[in-house]
């Protein structure tokens, strides 16, 4: 297992076929203000690839964009709503089809209110991940070893978590409603970007 850091794009031969786990790191939580700094991606075969974008990046990453936009590849995220918006805003592609482990967790782990990646990974895989670098300067000229490990760990266990959560969704009869949620996520991301992040357009008010 290795972590590879790439500048501005993913090598064309970095990934095997099939489902990929994806995450992003940004300068903050306001997508239009806080630029995309890093995209993490893994094919579940043991390596994680981190693509870093500089301050003045043109975000011209044809290899990465091709993977993210590939309709034949399922993309696994944890809190896909945020990542889809960041990827669409900066890279100009919608990373679909998608499976969100946070949504799946909320649909089947109804016995808890702890649906962060750390808790979901612990229960579904038995692995422990550190979130110490969650609030970190991802736009600096050098990423330290702790940042690289943190970023890689965010995609390292998503394939395994996806497998467990998919089984639980089926067991509880919630696969169809989960899929409907996943299918709506691109629209939810576009609503966020368009200014409806905090408004529930389905509410009566």
Angle, helices 158-171 vs 175-194, to 10°: value is 120
What domains can you pick out in the chain, each with its CATH number?
Answer: 3-194 (3.30.420.10)
Identify whether the C-beta of residue 33 lies closer than 8 Å to the C-beta of residue 58.
no
Cα Rg of the chain, angstroms: 16
pLDDT tens string 25-79: 999 999 999 999 999 999 999 999 999 999 999 999 999 999 999 999 999 999 9
pTM of the model: 0.96
- For 111, the 3-state DSSP assignment is coil
Cβ contacts of residue 23 below 8 Å, gap of 6+? 39, 40, 77, 78, 83, 151, 154, 155
**The residue count for the chain:** 205
Q: Residue 103: what pLDDT?
A: 98
- What are phi and psi for residue 101, nearest 5 degrees? -70, -25
Q: Where are the beta strands (DSSP E) in 145-193?
A: none
Q: In what order do the strands lie in the sheet with 75-77?
A: 3-7, 48-52, 36-42, 20-26, 75-77, 98-100
Q: Give the model confidence (pLDDT) of 88-134 as tens digits.
A: 999 999 999 999 999 999 999 999 999 999 999 999 999 999 877 66
Q: Which tokens sit at 141?
A: 């000229």
């Amino acid at each position: 297992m290795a972590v590879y850091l790439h500048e501005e794009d993913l090598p064309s031969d970095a990934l095997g076929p099939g489902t990929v786990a994806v995450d992003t790191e940004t300068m903050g939580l306001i997508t239009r203000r806080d630029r995309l700094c890093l995209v993490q991606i893994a094919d579940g075969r043991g390596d994680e690839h981190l693509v870093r974008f500089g301050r003045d990046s043109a975000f011209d990453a044809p290899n990465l964009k091709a993977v993210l936009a590939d309709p034949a590849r399922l993309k696994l995220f944890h809190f896909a709503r945020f990542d889809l918006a960041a990827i669409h805003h900066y890279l100009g592609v919608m990373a679909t089809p998608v499976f969100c482990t946070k949504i799946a967790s909320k649909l089947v782990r109804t016995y808890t209110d702890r649906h962060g990646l750390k808790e979901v990974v612990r229960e579904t895989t038995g692995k422990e991940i550190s979130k110490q670098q969650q609030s970190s300067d991802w736009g600096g000229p050098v990423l330290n070893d702790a940042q690289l490990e943190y970023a890689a760990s965010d995609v390292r266990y998503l394939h395994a978590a996806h497998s467990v959560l998919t089984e639980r969704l089926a067991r509880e009869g919630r696969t169809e409603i989960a899929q409907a949620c996943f299918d709506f996520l691109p629209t939810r991301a576009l609503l966020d970007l368009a200014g409806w992040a905090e408004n529930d357009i389905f509410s009566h008010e």
